[in-house]
């Protein structure tokens, strides 16, 4: 060992994988910052690498994989794994952000929507499909996030990208709301699926609830809350 190199003093520097159930209202970045601060306070250190393996919007809850220390080099491995989500699409209305971040901009009658049509239309969204990310997304263009451009009222052309959807099933139909379960590849925007699903029904739709339930073999049932981590994170 290099005599000038400081020894690793805690398991988080060696590398840990934490399963956190992200609460509503928190950004993924805020969760990472909170965990980094707690570790630094507990061990009296000035620096610790902490990162997450896949962003969840503030309006979404569920599984967030947090990597610390040397394990951060494996973040890309977790990011590449299949994701599973549950949530709710509200039909009969669209929003610019495809979710509840922005106000409804168009309304549509839902009287002609049938359960059979709702179920059959999900078949258009399985397998390899093309989709456009929402204009309110963290994708960068010319050095700026798309949501920054959108909030400034600027319009920009977004290219379609191919994603893979292993499953899209409706778990409850109670119009105007339909509950769903989706299993999909990295890079899939569930907000875009909600918007495109409404469009495929010759109607409109937006995402009104979202929860990530799994990343690969990691499930939210095995995750802990931020409060639990703060209370006993040394034992994780």
As given in the structure block, the two tokens for residue 192 are 């875009």
Same domain, 102 and 206: yes
Mean pLDDT throughout 140-169? 71
Same domain, 25 and 61: yes
For the annotated catalytic residues, the residue numbers are 57
Worst-scoring range by mean pLDDT, 4-8, 49-53, 181-185, 219-223? Answer: 4-8
Whether residue 3 is predicted with pLDDT greater than 60 in this model: the reply is no
Mean pLDDT throughout 160-174? 96
- Name which residue leads in pLDDT, 216 or 135: 216
CA 133 vs. chain centroid, Å, equals 13
Same domain, 136 and 206: yes
Q: In the predicted model, what is the mean pLDDT of the chain?
A: 89
Per-residue model confidence (pLDDT) at position 5: 46
Worst-scoring range by mean pLDDT, 37-51, 140-154, 168-182? Answer: 140-154
Mean pLDDT throughout 30-47? 93
Non-local (6+) Cβ contacts of 120 within 8 A are none
Per-residue model confidence (pLDDT) at position 152: 53
Same domain, 75 and 99: no
For 207-226, write each residue's pLDDT tens digit.
Answer: 999 999 999 999 999 999 99
Per-residue model confidence (pLDDT) at position 6: 46
Same domain, 141 and 203: yes
Whether residue 151 is predicted with pLDDT greater than 70 in this model: the reply is no
SS3 175: coil
Residues of the chain with pLDDT > 70, as a percent, come to 85
Whether residue 156 is predicted with pLDDT greater than 90 in this model: the reply is no
- C-alpha 22/C-alpha 225 separation (Å) is 7
Per-residue model confidence (pLDDT) at position 1: 39
- Return left, alpha or beta for 20; rule: phi > 0 is left, psi -120 to 50 is alpha, else beta: beta
Question: Helices then strands (H, E): number in the chain?
Answer: 7, 13
Per-residue model confidence (pLDDT) at position 226: 94
Number of domains in the chain: 2
Same domain, 111 and 51: no
Is 5 contained in some domain?
Answer: no
| 140 pLDDT tier (thresholds 50, 70, 90) | low
- Name which residue leads in pLDDT, 61 or 155: 61
Is 2 contained in some domain?
Answer: no
CATH number of the CATH domain containing 162: 3.30.2350.10
Is 74 contained in some domain?
Answer: yes
Whether residue 233 is predicted with pLDDT greater than 80 in this model: the reply is no
């Amino acid at each position: 060992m290099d005599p000038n190199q400081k020894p690793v003093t805690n398991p988080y520097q060696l590398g840990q994988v934490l399963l956190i159930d992200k609460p509503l209202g928190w950004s993924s970045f805020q969760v990472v910052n909170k965990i980094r601060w707690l570790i630094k306070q507990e061990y009296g250190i000035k620096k610790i690498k902490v990162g997450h393996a896949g962003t969840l919007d503030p309006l979404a809850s569920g599984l967030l994989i947090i990597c610390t220390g040397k394990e951060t080099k494996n973040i890309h491995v977790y990011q590449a794994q299949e994701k599973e989500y549950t949530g709710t699409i509200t039909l009969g209305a669209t929003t610019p952000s495809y979710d509840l971040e922005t106000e409804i901009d168009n309304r549509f009658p839902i009287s002609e929507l049938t359960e059979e049509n709702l179920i059959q239309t999900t078949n258009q969204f399985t397998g390899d499909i093309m989709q456009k990310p929402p204009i309110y997304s963290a994708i960068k263009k010319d050095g700026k996030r798309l949501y920054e451009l959108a909030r400034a009222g600027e319009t920009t052309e977004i290219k379609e990208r191919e994603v893979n959807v292993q499953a899209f099933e409706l778990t409850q139909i109670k119009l105007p709301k339909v509950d769903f379960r989706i299993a999909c590849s990295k890079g899939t925007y569930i907000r875009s699926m909600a918007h495109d699903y409404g469009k495929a029904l010759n109607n409109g739709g937006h995402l009104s609830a979202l929860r990530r339930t799994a990343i690969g073999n990691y499930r939210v049932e095995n995750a802990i809350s931020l409060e639990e981590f703060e209370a006993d994170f040394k034992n994780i």
